[in-house]
Structure 1
Amino acid sequence: MDTHTRLRIFYSLSGRAIGPDGAASCKVFYFLFFASMAPFFPYVNLYFRDIGLSGEQIGLISAITPVVGLLMQTVWGTLSDVLKGRRAVLMLTTLAASVLVLLFLATREFYTLICVMTLFSVFTNPIMPIADSITLRYLEDRSSAGEYGRLRLWGSIGFSLVVPLAGWFLQRTSLANLFILYSLLMFLAHLASRFMPETQRGLDQDHLLRAQEGPKLRGYHAGITHLLGDRNFAGFLIAIFILQAATISVGTFFPIHLSRMGASILVIGTAQLIAAVSEVPAFGLSGRIMTRATSKSIITWASATYVLRFLVYALSPTPGPILLIQVVQGIGFALFYSAAVVFVSEVSPPELKTTGQAVFWAFAFGGGAIAGNLGGGFLVDRIGTANLYILASAASLLSVALLLLAVRPNPCSESPESIAPAAPAPEAQKGNGKVGVL
């Protein structure tokens, strides 16, 4: 039995989603997945600092995840499209993540940590793009893609509930326990992934669309080339790359920035809690907002909030103002992310939607994150976090300018409910997002 056959058999084991409500399955998965993030990302760089790593070393380790994402993200996405087994890939990656994270407890040596982070990142990077692709397919089958935020908000709820409890627990025990908490919660997310609503109708339709589009859209390189050939999509990716580079450079050292102000682990967790709680109503209202504005305009306005937030981080002498501005972070991120996922779905051909989400993640959370982590790590030991955040604010302003000048609203974005999995007419396909210029 060859490798391809074995893979197809494994993918077939996931079967149909169990349970009458696919939306509820998506909510549970997002809840548990982001709950697993709560003990990890707010505190892992504090752990690295406490075991003796420098800011530049922390930046290098943090850059491993986006480097792997840039190399592997589109491979996972294309594999899901070709094998038509998104849910099985989700099951595999969440299970592997829950096990591999425990390897961080086995070493404190810098180069060994790089190896562990590399292996860990191979399986964590594709989780969100594939989950989003499954969710969007489910919604598009019901002509309600604009309701993505209503499902995604459960991730914010999960994060909000767990992050203060994790902070309380870690402050009273040891930061090293964050890896155990992550492992347990990610394993629960793995169990929940079994019930994600990947319908046979959606899989059959993807197969039909791929066959109809012909050889030019088949395969890894052809699919990526087709997506990047859309100048509107390319302009969007460049703007998001810059924005995410700025955002990641800020986020990587945010706990350390607060810690240097004298903030405790509980205060750092509270800052994350405020942002997560404020995401909930924003995600809940995102579908309604997208019926009144294009996804591109929402992305632009949300990105503008990053400019203000980074300036407040840089200029605040105490944690108080930073805690207040965290409300803006939650609202801005929720609207930005909801609109960005829908925008990518709008401009991606139906048979390449998973690949489109993977390309978006590769540029934003891959390339942008690499630049942000490496650049931030290099600068933070030389100019300090406050000056780093001023530079990040300026970069965010540049991103907003590019969104205004180089990206035009996609015609489909005027009505999110109109996003459907069926292939558009050739004329519509030619004009779908092609009007943007660089």
Structure 2
Amino acid sequence: MGLLNDRLQRTKVLLLLLVLVTPASGLLFYTSNAFGVIIAVSLLFAWFQSSLPSMSDAAAVQIGRTQGFAFGNVRLWGALSYAIGAFAVGFYYEKHGYDHVFLMYALLALPTAAIVFLLPVTHTNSARISVFQQLGDVVRNRTFLFFCLISFMTMLAVTASATFLPLYFDEHDFDKRFLGTAIALAALIEVPMFWWAAKLGNKFGKSLLLAAAASLYALKYLILFLTSNVYMTLATQLLDGIAFAFFAGVAVELVDRLAGARTKATYQTLYAAVTWGLGGIAGNLIGGQIVELRGVTFLYIVLFLLCASSALFYTRVKQEHSKLPGMGA
């Protein structure tokens, strides 16, 4: 979808299409209970749904560049809606179950589509290039590939931590009611931190802020390895929320800077696929093996080492990035 967007240069049209087609494909889950049908519909749904975040990020950065606002100032509203939605949907599911989840999604898509329709149209003056030229641009950009590798390591750790946090609670006999509180704390702290991320990224450099985010993740995992106190565990969720806001708030803008004028959506979707996609898959698989062999507590010392290494590598991205013409860290 990123390649198609950069090829056609119709970000708003494709984004509107994704907003409408994604819930429409989700409604197909109601057509059959057959396992094969569910698999097919899941593949179709994921194709469009997984493209939405990176496409909307590319659009937000592009519009922000012309309208004079930072991506983090927009992304904080996503964090706020996630926190509110998590509470509201949780109560709804407890009372009514999951039967109408895709119908709710379709209804929410309608006002979303109206908002997308009202977005300003952005244009680029660059000429269209072939798919091979787009891919070649990515392959030749060693700084971007190195950045993807570091972010893959970071997201591997973040995904494993989020997935196996309930087992960590179980291993230490924590009250399970605190698990929802832990998730809510991380989500709520993200909102103001996204606003600060934009300011700190401009003041100290985006690569340095990413190194700080990886360091905060590393500190959280080290604390979880060394302690077994539920209140300390809840406190570390504040570190998690701050780190996520710093990471998500500036990584998209850094990818936009590394991309060429004709390949911005391609870079964003590829970056999302490698980090959130492959990083998430690897985090669950590798994390599961470590938990099975050594337990959840040991997992967190491994995650600490991953994020501590990522923090050091992000400083290298800063050095390499500063060599690119017309770009700062």
| TM-score normalised to structure 2 length | 0.86
Match of 1:365?
A: 276
Distance 1:406 1:335, change over 3 A: closer
Shift of 1:151: 1.2
Decide whether the 8 Å contact of 2:207 with 2:317 is kept in 1. no
Distance 1:323 1:104, change over 3 A: farther
Match of 1:419?
A: none
Match of 1:121?
A: 46
The one-letter code matched in structure 1 to 2:9 is K
How does 1:367-382 map onto structure 2 within 5 Å? 367-382=278-293
Match of 1:251?
A: 162
Q: Out of 295, 303, 312, which is 1:401 matched to? A: 312
Match of 1:219?
A: 130
Shift of 1:306: 0.9
Cα distance in 2, alignment partners of residues 152 and 269 from structure 1: 23
Report the secondary structure of 2:150's partner residue. helix
Shift of 1:319: 4.0
Shift of 1:119: 2.4
The one-letter code matched in structure 2 to 1:174 is G
Decide whether the 8 Å contact of 1:227 with 1:356 is kept in 2. yes
Cα distance in 2, alignment partners of residues 374 and 182 from structure 1: 29
Q: Out of 289, 293, 296, which is 2:204 matched to? A: 293
Shift of 1:398: 1.9
Cα distance in 2, alignment partners of residues 410 and 325 from structure 1: 31
The one-letter code matched in structure 1 to 2:92 is F
- 378-387 or 340-349: bigger deviation: 378-387
Answering whether residue 93 of structure 2 is matched by residue 158 of structure 1, we say no
- 316-325 or 273-282: bigger deviation: 316-325
Cα distance in 1, alignment partners of residues 169 and 11 from structure 2: 39
Answering whether residue 55 of structure 2 is matched by residue 138 of structure 1, we say no
Cα distance in 2, alignment partners of residues 273 and 187 from structure 1: 27
CA offsets 1:334-392 (integer angstroms, 9 cap, x no match): 11112111111112112221112122112212222232233234444444333333322
Decide whether the 8 Å contact of 1:86 with 1:134 is kept in 2. yes
| TM-score normalised to structure 1 length | 0.66
- 181-190 or 347-356: bigger deviation: 181-190
Report the secondary structure of 1:350's partner residue. coil
Shift of 1:139: 1.5
Match of 2:240?
A: 329
Report the secondary structure of 1:93's partner residue. helix
- 291-300 or 372-381: bigger deviation: 372-381
Cα distance in 2, alignment partners of residues 107 and 383 from structure 1: 38
Q: Out of 116, 120, 129, which is 1:193 matched to? A: 116
Q: Out of 3, 17, 23, which is 1:98 matched to? A: 23
Report the secondary structure of 1:349's partner residue. coil
Cα distance in 1, alignment partners of residues 92 and 291 from structure 2: 29
Match of 1:28?
A: none
Cα distance in 1, alignment partners of residues 289 and 17 from structure 2: 35
Shift of 1:149: 0.9
Answering whether residue 6 of structure 2 is matched by residue 81 of structure 1, we say yes
Match of 1:311?
A: 222
Shift of 1:240: 0.8
Cα distance in 2, alignment partners of residues 115 and 377 from structure 1: 26
Match of 2:186?
A: 275
CA offsets 1:108-147 (integer angstroms, 9 cap, x no match): 96x77654432221011111111111111112123x35x2
Shift of 1:228: 3.1
CA offsets 1:252-287 (integer angstroms, 9 cap, x no match): 3334544664554x6433322211211111111222
Cα distance in 2, alignment partners of residues 339 and 236 from structure 1: 13
Answering whether residue 136 of structure 2 is matched by residue 242 of structure 1, we say no
Decide whether the 8 Å contact of 1:78 with 1:219 is kept in 2. no
Shift of 1:290: 2.3
Distance 1:219 1:263, change over 3 A: farther
Shift of 1:304: 0.9
Shift of 1:176: 5.8
The one-letter code matched in structure 2 to 1:304 is S
Cα distance in 2, alignment partners of residues 182 and 268 from structure 1: 25
Gaps of 5+ in 1: 1-75, 212-217, 412-427
Structure 1 runs (4+) greater than 6 angstroms displaced: none
Decide whether the 8 Å contact of 1:167 with 1:269 is kept in 2. no
Gaps of 5+ in 2: none
Shift of 1:98: 2.1
Seq. identity, %? 24
